[in-house]
Amino acid sequence: YLLTMITRQYRIMVKVKDAASSGGGNEYDIAKLVGESPYPVKKALQQSRQYKIEELDAIMERLLETDYAMKTGADPETAIDVLVAELTQRNR
């Protein structure tokens, strides 16, 4: 469940960053465009300013790798711990 929520947040950031860079308008316009509610879009816009789109794409790839590892036998707790460490290390 935790991986699902982390993935959802980054997925929203990718969608809103892409929409905003394409001239999507304000948070309400972007929310309609990406099919999300305005509040999560507002928060995702704020958070996505810390990332380049290439970084978000790389994070999405890493999330996919973690999901695959967990589904093919990796210890879920260890996989999540490593993922969170990698994601937080980026901001140091």
CATH number at residue 14: 1.20.272.10
- Domain extent for 64: 2-89
Total domains present in the chain: 1
Q: What is the CA radius of gyration of the chain?
A: 14
CB 53 within 8 A of CB 18: yes
Half-sphere exposure for 71 (CA within 13 Å, toward CB):
9
pLDDT band at 15 (very low <50, low <70, confident <90, very high): very high
Percent of the chain with pLDDT over 90: 80
Residue 91 pLDDT > 70: no
For 54, what's the count of Cα atoms within 13 Å in the CB-facing half-sphere? 0
Which residues, in sequence order, are CB contacts of 28 under 8 Å at separation 6+? Answer: 38
Backbone φ and ψ of 4, nearest 5°: -60, -45
